[in-house]
Amino acid sequence: AQRVTQPEKLLSVFKGAPVELKCNYSYSGSPELFWYVQYSRQRLQLLLRHISRESIKGFTADLNKGETSFHLKKPFAQEEDSAMYYCALSSYGGATNKLIFGTGTLLAVQP
């Protein structure tokens, strides 16, 4: 079965602390993994995708096929990082844009 699991509903950290948002997936084919973010009163938007291997707003995520994980990390959290984060997967190379989302993690960065 295709599934994305985000075990934490809420993650609360202090400004300057490291952040790790967990994501595990189950997929039989070759997945492409993404992190989407929704800031307060804004639209859901793409944060990063594993195939790009880039850092956005200081966030990075590495695809670990052995552990079927795609955790999102940032060394020093900022208050403006407070948002809802969704991990999602799609079929790599497939002729579809279908996304399977996790249930999301609310990141709250305290001053």
Partner 1 sequence: KAGVTQTPRYLIKTRGQQVTLSCSPISGHRSVSWYQQTPGQGLQFLFEYFSETQRNKGNFPGRFSGRQFSNSRSEMNVSTLELGDSALYLCASSLGEGSYQPQHFGDGTRLSIL
| CB closer to partner 1, 10 vs 95 | 95
| CB closer to partner 1, 46 vs 108 | 46
Question: Residue 95 Cβ, how far from partner 1 at the closest point, in Å?
Answer: 7
Question: Residue 44 Cβ, how far from partner 1 at the closest point, in Å?
Answer: 4
Contact residues: partner 1, CB under 8 A: 32, 43-46, 49, 86, 90-104
DSSP structural state of residue 76: S
Question: Residue 56 Cβ, how far from partner 1 at the closest point, in Å?
Answer: 12
Paired with 64 in beta bridges are 69
Is 39 in a helix, a strand, or coil?
coil
Question: Residue 15 Cβ, how far from partner 1 at the closest point, in Å?
Answer: 28
- ∠ at Cα 72 (67, 108), nearest 5°? 135
- Whether the CB-CB separation of 89 and 25 falls below 8 Å is answered with yes
| CB closer to partner 1, 28 vs 43 | 43
| CB closer to partner 1, 61 vs 102 | 102
Is 57 in a helix, a strand, or coil?
coil
DSSP structural state of residue 75: S
